[in-house]
Structure 1
Amino acid sequence: MADDPVSLVAAWPHDVHRLGDAAYGAYRERFPAIADKPRIAGSADSLSVEQVIDVAPDVAIFRDGLGPNPEQIRQIEAAGIPVVFIDFFSQPLENLEKSLLILGRLIGAEERAQAFIDFRDAHLKRITGRIAQTPALRRPRVFLEVHAGLTECCNSPGRGNVGNYVELAGGHNIGADVLPGASGKLGIEYIISAEPEIYIATGGPHTAKAGGFVIGPEFSPAEARASLARMAARPGIASLAPVERGEVHGLAHQLLNSPLDILVAERLANWIHPELFADVDPDKTIEELNTRFLAVPLAGPNWIDLRQQAGGASSE
């Protein structure tokens, strides 16, 4: 929404391990000032009110559900700093558009924010409209493991987060049957009993230290596919029917919890209903995003298939 987004930042949590060295390097090359931005803690457990007040922002923006507690809000606002909450995480299909409009108003870029919202809405409606018009649609059971390999098996979306995109794309998220919140953990016994038909892992540079699934611009498609194969070979996971069939896919976690969610929706649609969405091309969507909206182009690979497709891995 801004030609120089870094110039608008007073301070940030600087989660470069999640962003990835390659992505951070691309931003630093384009906007060298990013390296000099103050770094502060971003969650309620470790947030320093003094740090926030010290950098004197015009407004303090936090993620809903992972921000300051009521007393910290009172202290920040008492210093003359308005506190704003946005949500790209818990219920993004409900709140991401509202959050973008808030951000657009804050930086005086309402028109640009609305242009992106219209672009995103058109891409999402292409999927939801086709799902709605498909009578007796069968929803395959999907096991989506987030941060695959970062901790013991298995992190999963529940009723919210990326699980909502599984449902939007015509699948059934097995995590939603037992996890009441936006995310949680599933036991391998439950996963096996749920008989998923499709297995999707998310990961990125932040999982490398644990030997988990890695993907993103600092990894080659071959490296991403090899790490996905390791995830599929773990005890319990290897016995799942989709793994035995090679119906295993990997997605960059960096695409989640952001306005890039349209890429998640399109790629999930390809994997869950390949015939219904054969004409949906998230690679083309990336080209449009890079040309029209992104200050720093999105590089890949952003997704991978365990069984190499005729055209290779997408977004390589």
Structure 2
Amino acid sequence: MSISRPDRRLVFLGGVATCLTACRRTEGARTPARLTDLSGRPVKAAPGGKLAIDDGRYLIALALIHPDPVSALAAWSGDVNRIGADMYKAYVGKFPALASLPKVPPSNEAFNVEAVLGARPSTAVVSLGNGPTEAQIAQLDAAGVGVAFIDFFSHPFENQPKSLTLLGALTGRTEQAAAFNEFRKAKLDAIAARVAQIPTDHRPTVFLEAHAGLSPDCCNSPGSGNVGDYIKFVGGRNIGADVLKQPFGKLNLEYVIERDPDVYIATGGPHLAKAGGFVAGPDFTPEQGQAGLRKVASRRGIATLKAVREGRVHGLSHQLINSPIDVVAIEALARWIHPELFSDLDPAKTLAEINNRFLAVPYAGAYWADLAKA
């Protein structure tokens, strides 16, 4: 799960910076004069070649701009846990080739040059902050494989549109990437215009506990980056950002109790089913989601928080974050943090529009919830 500084947000809202120069048409094909990735390095790869990706969520991003995202891949990370077993089944059902696609290590594991070269991609798309070393990049370059760093994690407002633009350029889907970026930007601009009118002293404190209930200890939290960016963007004060200067870390339970936040949000998903945490998606009933949310909110210390006492407890699935789909999560957060100001927002309607207009494989089921009164 990350927070951007105010100046970065304004840069994004003022106009999405592109990560590539103007494209020119040559005999009907798009040939970019130059591509630059999120690390600032030129991408030495011809558009249209197949990709190796180190994060399964990049498959979702590709599905926003490509009718057959699997056909654009030479290899993928195989990290089904990041997209959810239900989503993986849906992709294999529509694109059976995914089940036998070569695999490379995911971004949370050591980069493996041999695995990438064995898949013979045109470009290795890797996560900013991870990926190959300079020596490994040189090996790939010598073998004719380009490297492109992207970021849907650390600084989503600054880097997501650039990353999708780059994916569009690499797959020959530049126009489609621009269309989704425009759609997402319009949604975010509308929220930002309202948030700008909220006085500083009217911004509720928020504790977002990532992977709530996954282990007995507490408390995983976004800091300066990632989901913390979303909280700040919609007019909340993320208590994790005051002590965590990296995108993600851990808070002491005593600190959380002392801050006594106005809003408590637990994130979860299918990976928390065995732990009894918040679950969401087509494989789970609303009752299961409520049971998990109630369990994490009733733990020692958490149960005493103002947010829990006043009924401001919510659950958000990880399947909505760390990809451009996050605009749905942002709308949900806005409703939870400023319910009066954003009562007209409808995240379900936005997700339905994304399903109908963009996604090759639609999202099914509910991916967020409010804890019902007992």
Q: In 2 relative to 1, CA 74–210 (structure 1 residues): closer, same or farther, beyond 3 Å?
A: farther
How far off is 1:254 after superposition? 1.1
Cross-structure match for 1:99: 163
Equivalent residue for 1:267, pick from 328, 332, 341: 332
- For 1:18-167, list aligned pairs within 5 A: 18-43=82-107, 45-135=109-199, 138-151=202-215, 152-167=217-232
Cross-structure match for 1:216: 281
Which digits, 9 at most, give the CA deviation of each residue in 1:16-37, with x for residues without a partner?
1232221111111111111111
Q: Mind listing any 5+ residue stretches in structure 2 that lack a counterpart? A: 1-64
The count of corresponding residues between Structure 1 and Structure 2 is 309
Q: How far, CA to CA, are the matches of 1:125 and 1:289 in structure 2?
A: 17
Code of the residue aligned with 1:219 in structure 2: it is F
Identity %: 55
DSSP-derived class of the 1:142 partner? strand
Code of the residue aligned with 1:247 in structure 2: it is R
DSSP-derived class of the 1:42 partner? coil
Higher RCO (Cα < 8 Å, 6 or more apart) = 2
Equivalent residue for 1:232, pick from 297, 302, 311: 297
Structure 1: which 4+ aligned runs deviate by more than 4 Å?
A: none
Which stretch of structure 1 is more off in the superposition, 54-63 or 150-159?
Answer: 150-159
Cross-structure match for 1:190: 255
TM-score, length-normalised on structure 2? 0.80
Code of the residue aligned with 1:81 in structure 2: it is V
DSSP-derived class of the 1:213 partner? coil
Q: Residue 215 of structure 1 contacts residue 301 of structure 1 at CA under 8 Å; is this kept in 2?
A: yes
Q: Residue 131 of structure 1 contacts residue 137 of structure 1 at CA under 8 Å; is this kept in 2?
A: no
Cross-structure match for 2:320: 255
DSSP-derived class of the 2:117 partner? helix
Q: Residue 311 of structure 2 contacts residue 373 of structure 2 at CA under 8 Å; is this kept in 1?
A: no
Which digits, 9 at most, give the CA deviation of each residue in 1:74-119, with x for residues without a partner?
2222211010000000011111011111111101111111000000
Q: How far, CA to CA, are the matches of 1:21 and 1:43 in structure 2?
A: 19
Cross-structure match for 1:281: 346
Q: How far, CA to CA, are the matches of 2:303 and 2:72 in structure 1?
A: 47
- For 1:299-314, list aligned pairs within 5 A: 299-307=364-372
Q: Residue 212 of structure 1 contacts residue 231 of structure 1 at CA under 8 Å; is this kept in 2?
A: yes
Which stretch of structure 1 is more off in the superposition, 174-183 or 37-46?
Answer: 37-46
Q: How far, CA to CA, are the matches of 2:177 and 2:124 in structure 1?
A: 19
Which digits, 9 at most, give the CA deviation of each residue in 1:123-173, with x for residues without a partner?
001100111134566100000011111232111000000001001111000
Q: How far, CA to CA, are the matches of 1:116 and 1:150 in structure 2?
A: 34
Q: In 2 relative to 1, CA 114–299 (structure 1 residues): closer, same or farther, beyond 3 Å?
A: same
Q: Residue 44 of structure 1 contacts residue 68 of structure 1 at CA under 8 Å; is this kept in 2?
A: no
Cross-structure match for 2:360: 295
Q: How far, CA to CA, are the matches of 2:284 and 2:130 in structure 1?
A: 30
Q: How far, CA to CA, are the matches of 1:43 and 1:296 in structure 2?
A: 23
Cross-structure match for 2:19: none
Cross-structure match for 1:312: none
Code of the residue aligned with 2:214 in structure 1: it is L
Q: How far, CA to CA, are the matches of 2:344 and 2:192 in structure 1?
A: 14
Which stretch of structure 1 is more off in the superposition, 296-305 or 204-213?
Answer: 204-213
Q: How far, CA to CA, are the matches of 1:205 and 1:74 in structure 2?
A: 38
How far off is 1:300 after superposition? 1.9
Q: Residue 43 of structure 1 contacts residue 68 of structure 1 at CA under 8 Å; is this kept in 2?
A: no
